[in-house]
Amino acid sequence: MTEEMKPVCEIDPMPFFCGSGNACFTACCRDLNQALTPYDILRMKNNLGIDSKTFLRRYTSRHFGPDSGLPVVSFTSDPAFGHACPFVTESGCSVYQDRPGSCRMYPLARAISRSRATGKIREYFALIEEDHCMGFGKNTGQTVRQWLDSQDVDLHNHYNDQLIALISLKNRMMPGKLEGGHADIFYTALYDLDTFKKQIFEQDLLGPIVLPVPVVDDIRTRDEALFELGIQWLKYQIFGIEMTWS
Ligand code: SF4
Ligand code: SF4
């Protein structure tokens, strides 16, 4: 497979269309090597109505980065079926409304930089042209920004950027390998949210830390709030940064 990367701006035209009319339809979902973020898992397990532990066991595999010690979670795919995604069907993606951020972004790659002074994020994009993908060269009349909006990807980026910020913090404060206990709590607090919730409400995980009532209500009912608490919990547990509530 050959690929070419071309930097683009949000106002540039997006000469790309993906749909069932393309002969390659679902080809990209049948040859996967795809890392999943915590927010990807949150959306898909809720789409399927199962808890995070069941989702992770049924559909994913995990390893820890040899240098960083950070968990890397990917779709489990069967080489006998060409590494197909567990959710691909003849008619397309069976979890389309809640598909991962990387599926939404393709064929765009996104990188960010964050201002140390203001915390403001700047985004950079590049088009990845792979020879198996026949979606290129179509005049859709859309700009890159309009195409991104049509993929409803900003919410994924919002939560994924919080993970990136946490990993950057880890790389600055603890450049070596995250070891045993820390690697495990990183995985549970972000990827296995329903277990994290049980540990908070049934096993007194937070100990003497008293959460304000609105935060308790929020994390009981919204996985997004639980994920954000998980980020704070890891900063506190691993780097000793005090937890705060607004
Ligand atoms: S290979 Fe490209 S055009 Fe074909 S289904 Fe995948 S993203 Fe769409
Ligand atoms: S989640 Fe859906 S869009 Fe993403 S690889 Fe699987 S089938 Fe394709």
Q: Which of 159, 187, 221 lies at the terminal end of a domain, its last residue?
A: 159
Predicted pLDDT at 180 = 74
Atom of ligand 1 nearest to the CA of 19: 8
Beta-ladder partners of 121: 114
Is 168 domain-assigned?
A: no
Q: Which of 101, 131, 159 lies at the terminal end of a domain, its last residue?
A: 159
Is 181 domain-assigned?
A: yes
Domain shared by 152 and 185, yes or no: no
Domain shared by 120 and 207, yes or no: no
Predicted pLDDT at 1 = 54
Domain shared by 39 and 63, yes or no: yes
Predicted pLDDT at 124 = 96
Segment 179-203 shows an average pLDDT of 95
Q: Which ligand is nearest to the CA of 18?
A: 1
Kindly report the protein residue whose alpha carbon is nearest to atom 6 of ligand 1. Answer: 28
Is 103's C-beta closer than 6 angstroms to any atom of ligand 2?
Answer: yes
Predicted pLDDT at 140 = 87
What confidence category does residue 59 fall into, taking pLDDT thresholds of 50, 70 and 90?
Answer: very high
Kindly report the protein residue whose alpha carbon is nearest to atom 5 of ligand 1. Answer: 25
Segment 82-106 shows an average pLDDT of 94
CA distance 27 to 18: 11
Domain shared by 180 and 79, yes or no: no
Categorise residue 127: left if φ over 0, alpha if ψ from -120 to 50, beta otherwise.
Answer: beta
Please report where in the chains the tokens 């049509």 appear, as a residue. 150
Domain shared by 78 and 108, yes or no: yes
CA distance 85 to 92: 11
Predicted pLDDT at 134 = 94
Q: For residue 236, how far is its CA from the centre of ligand 1 (angstroms)? A: 42
CA distance 187 to 230: 10
Domain shared by 108 and 226, yes or no: no
Whether this model's pTM surpasses 0.85: yes
Predicted pLDDT at 119 = 81
Is 44's C-beta closer than 6 angstroms to any atom of ligand 2?
Answer: no
What is the residue-averaged pLDDT of the chain?
A: 93
Domain shared by 99 and 20, yes or no: yes
Domain shared by 155 and 180, yes or no: no
Q: Which of 159, 184, 202 lies at the terminal end of a domain, its last residue?
A: 159
Predicted pLDDT at 118 = 86
Domain shared by 118 and 152, yes or no: yes
Atom of ligand 1 nearest to the CA of 107: 7
Is 87 domain-assigned?
A: yes
Instruction: Kindly state the percentage of the chain with pLDDT values over 90.
Output: 83
Is 164 domain-assigned?
A: no
Comparing 188 with 117, the larger pLDDT belongs to 188
246 pLDDT above the threshold of 80: no
Is 24's C-beta closer than 6 angstroms to any atom of ligand 1?
Answer: yes
Is 40 domain-assigned?
A: yes
Please report where in the chains the tokens 């949210």 appear, as a residue. 193
Predicted pLDDT at 2 = 63
Q: Select from 211, 196, 167 the least CA-distant residue to 72.
A: 167
Domain shared by 213 and 116, yes or no: no
Segment 197-226 shows an average pLDDT of 96
Segment 50-69 shows an average pLDDT of 95
Contact present, 107 and 133 (Cβ < 8 Å)? yes
Domain shared by 140 and 232, yes or no: no
Is 167 domain-assigned?
A: no
Predicted pLDDT at 33 = 81
DSSP per residue over 32-74, as a string?
---EE-HHHHHHHHHHHT--HHHHHHHHEEEEE-TTT--EEEE
Is 170 domain-assigned?
A: no
Structural domain span for residue 151 = 3-159
Domain shared by 93 and 63, yes or no: yes
Question: Domain total for the chain?
Answer: 2
Contact present, 206 and 200 (Cβ < 8 Å)? yes
Peptide bond into 175 cis (omega under 30): no
Instruction: Kindly state the percentage of the chain with pLDDT values over 70.
Output: 98
Q: Which two tokens stand for residue 51?
A: 């808890």
Tell me which amino acid residue 55 is.
Answer: F
Predicted pLDDT at 67 = 93
Segment 189-195 shows an average pLDDT of 98
Is 224 domain-assigned?
A: yes
Q: pLDDT for 115-163, tens place per residue? A: 888 888 899 999 999 888 999 988 889 999 999 999 999 999 999 999 9
Q: For residue 25, how far is its CA from the centre of ligand 1 (angstroms)? A: 5
Q: How many residues does the chain have?
A: 246
